[in-house]
Structures are given as structure tokens and as C-alpha cells.
Amino acid sequence: MSRLARPTQGRMIGGVCAALARRFGTSATTMRVLFLLSCLLPGPQFLIYIALWIFLPSEDKARTAW
């Protein structure tokens, strides 16, 4: 199983949706649409996105760490 890391290619803002899409085997567009639809519901979606943006390593940094 691959490590979760924000890709250097295909980012829109922080690469969080692209990283999650790669991890779950879907397209990044699908993840982005799901995120936008989830924003219609109450909850901490933006806080989770920002936390993942901060704590997920970038792909180039994750590659050098291992």
C-alpha cells in the first residue's frame, strides 16, 4: 500500500484531493466534486482540508524521507 502524500503534478490548491483520489483509486475531479458537495452539509470540512494540507507531506519530500 502506498503512502499518502500530496502529488507534485495535478494539484489545484494544495493537492489534498489529488492525494486522496490516488489513494482510493478514483479521479481527482471526482474527489473535488465530492468535497464541494460535502461543503453543503454542516461539519468541519474546511478544517480537515487545511489540516491535511499541513500534515500530508509533499510527494517530493515524502520520497526523500524513505
Q: In this model, does residue 1 exceed pLDDT 60?
A: no
C-alpha grid cell, residue 33:
466534486
| pLDDT (tens digit per residue) in 4-44 | 888 888 788 889 999 999 999 999 999 999 999 999 999 99
Map out the domains of the chain as residue ranges: 16-65
Q: What is the pLDDT of residue 66?
A: 55
Q: In this model, does residue 64 exceed pLDDT 90?
A: no
Amino acid at residue number 51: A
Strand partners, 6: 58
> Residue range 39-62: average pLDDT?
89
Closest C-alpha to 27, from 38, 41, 12: 12
> Residue range 50-58: average pLDDT?
92
Q: What is the pLDDT of residue 3?
A: 77
